[in-house]
């Protein structure tokens, strides 16, 4: 059974058809990419699958269970972690708190424990902190644990966001333009980090990207989206030479 299966997903914003008949199959441990020009509906597809919007038509199944109608936090607790195009870190919280926060659904205590600071709460907080520190070490940001995220260099913020997403214990990780605004050196680092996450955690990864080179290097299979419709799907080499993709990105050769 595939890990994630999306069938015939269509979505309208009012009269505007943002996504049309989108299909996706992600097998465990796979890295898949979604490319397309600006406004093609890539982020909308992410938001539909992660529960921020509910699709007008179609099915979304994670390990055979439907995700339609679930709230974003429920989708996330079922194993669908994500990062955001513009990171959306919490500016008044420090790095450690970010990664602890993402383990919210794994907290095994109730409100009363939180009110009265019971031993159970302390046990859980210690466990969550240990886990958070482990992740911070793994992403090489442990030295910033007590810093506010806003004071970190851009690359470190990206790594914090990644650590935060991994703290939700995802089975699939959705990365929304993980290299947006990065320098070429940071880009190389990011490729390393994604490979490492893929290897260490064994998660499947589904990523949106602008930079073709990055996608070509990482992904086993790529979908190309234009105006809400998939125009091409296949391994990187095939996509690269697909005339439709070239046309979508570079425009049609004008003979006349």
What's the closest the beta carbon of residue 132 comes to other proteins, in angstroms?
A: 9
What's the closest the beta carbon of residue 162 comes to other proteins, in angstroms?
A: 12
| Residues sharing a CB contact under 8 Å with residue 8, sequence separation 6 or more, in sequence order | 21, 22, 23, 57, 58, 59
CA pair distance 126, 146, nearest whole angstrom: 16
CA pair distance 55, 14, nearest whole angstrom: 12
Closest CB to other proteins among residues 89, 215 = 89
Residue owning tokens 């992403």: 139
Q: Which residues of the shown chain bind other proteins in the complex (CB under 8 A)?
A: 50, 52, 71-73, 76-77, 81-82, 84, 88-93, 97, 100-107, 109, 111, 113-117, 121, 125, 128, 164-165, 167-168
DSSP E strand boundaries for 109-193: 172-176
Token reading at 218: 């990482």
Closest CB to other proteins among residues 128, 172 = 128
Strands 221-226 and 229-234: antiparallel
Closest CB to other proteins among residues 104, 249 = 104
What's the closest the beta carbon of residue 75 comes to other proteins, in angstroms?
A: 8
C-alpha distances (whole Å) from 111 to each of 78, 95, 105, 108, 167 are 22, 24, 13, 10, 22
What's the closest the beta carbon of residue 185 comes to other proteins, in angstroms?
A: 27
What's the closest the beta carbon of residue 82 comes to other proteins, in angstroms?
A: 5
- H or E element: which one contains 198? helix 184-201
Closest CB to other proteins among residues 165, 245 = 165
Closest CB to other proteins among residues 27, 125 = 125
8 A C-beta contact, residue 96 and residue 144: no
CA pair distance 1, 241, nearest whole angstrom: 31
What's the closest the beta carbon of residue 136 comes to other proteins, in angstroms?
A: 15
- H or E element: which one contains 5? strand 4-13
Closest CB to other proteins among residues 25, 88 = 88
CA pair distance 160, 84, nearest whole angstrom: 12
């Amino acid at each position: 059974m595939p890990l994630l299966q999306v069938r015939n997903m269509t979505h309208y914003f009012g009269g505007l058809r943002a996504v049309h008949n989108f299909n996706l199959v992600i097998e465990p441990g796979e890295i898949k990419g979604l490319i397309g020009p600006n406004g093609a509906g890539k982020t909308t597809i992410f938001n539909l699958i992660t529960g921020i919007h509910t699709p007008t038509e179609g099915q979304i199944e994670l390990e055979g269970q439907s995700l339609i109608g679930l709230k974003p936090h429920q989708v996330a607790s079922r194993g669908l972690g994500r990062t955001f195009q513009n990171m959306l870190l919490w500016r008044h919280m420090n790095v450690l708190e970010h990664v602890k926060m993402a383990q919210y659904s794994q907290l095994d205590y109730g409100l009363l424990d939180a009110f009265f600071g019971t031993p159970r709460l302390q046990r859980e907080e210690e466990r969550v902190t240990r886990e958070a520190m482990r992740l911070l070490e793994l992403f090489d940001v442990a030295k910033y644990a007590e810093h506010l995220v806003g004071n970190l260099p851009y690359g470190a913020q990206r790594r914090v966001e990644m650590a935060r997403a991994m703290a939700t214990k995802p089975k699939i990780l959705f990365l929304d333009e993980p290299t947006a605004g990065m320098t070429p050196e940071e880009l190389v680092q990011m490729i390393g980090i994604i490979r490492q996450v893929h290897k260490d955690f064994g998660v499947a990864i589904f990523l949106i990207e602008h930079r073709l080179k990055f996608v070509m290097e990482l992904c086993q299979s790529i979908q190309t989206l234009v105006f809400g419709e998939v125009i091409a799907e296949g391994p990187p080499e095939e996509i690269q030479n697909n005339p439709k993709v070239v046309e979508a990105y570079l425009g049609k050769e004008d003979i006349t």
